[in-house]
Homo-oligomer: A and B are copies of this chain.
Amino acid sequence: MNKEKRLQLIKEIISGEDISSQTELLQKLEEKRIKCTQATLSRNLRQLRVSRVPGNSGKLKYILRSGEHAEHIDQEITDIVHAVVDTVWAQNMMLVKTLPGYAAAVASHIDRSSRIEIAGTIAGDDTILLVPNDNYSRKTISKVLKQVLPGVQQNVK
């Protein structure tokens, strides 16, 4: 089982070419030796907030909602992560502290992960306010952030 890898690949594929059905995406994944069922894809796409929109040609295609213009997340991850200094919970929201001037970059990175668990972020200079969507626990959010910002230590409680 390698969900993370699959999610990453899904993002890459749909932002790289026009995919119009889950079955089609399934095949593309299979070419990369990643197998799952269409049902799983349906769930994954929701989690990534991928949506199917009428493209310019009129044909339907999948797009990353918040990451339309952005490139996929790649090697830079590790760099960005180093800017994170601390994470704190308050009022059911997470405060992510960064090195001065890095908040925007990290927030943008979080935004582009398009995770459904996150309602939105607001970045100042060295602090990010991360607002979870309703009904997601701190624990869940922490997990998500762990995926989005691998290696960052978190104070869950």
Residues of A bordering B, CB below 8 Å: 45-47, 49-54, 56-58, 60, 65-66, 68, 88-93, 95, 97, 104, 107, 116, 119-125, 127-129, 131-135
Contacts and interface: CB of A to CB of B under 8 A. Distances in A.
Nearest to A90: B119
A121 B124 contact: yes
Contacts of A92: 91
Contacts of A45: 54
B58 A54 contact: no
A127 B116 contact: no
A107 B133 contact: no
A65 B120 CA distance: 19
Contact of A93 (B124, B128, B131): B131
Contacts of A46: 54, 58, 60
A110 to B, nearest CB: 12
A8 B10 CA distance: 35
Contacts of A132: 90-91
Given A52-B51, A54-B51, A124-B107, A119 B91 contact: yes
A57 to B, nearest CB: 7
Contact of A95 (B50, B51, B66, B119): B119
A94 to B, nearest CB: 10
A47 B55 CA distance: 10
A21 to B, nearest CB: 14
Contact of A57 (B53, B121, B127, B133): B133
Given A123-B124, A124-B121, A124-B122, A54 B116 contact: yes
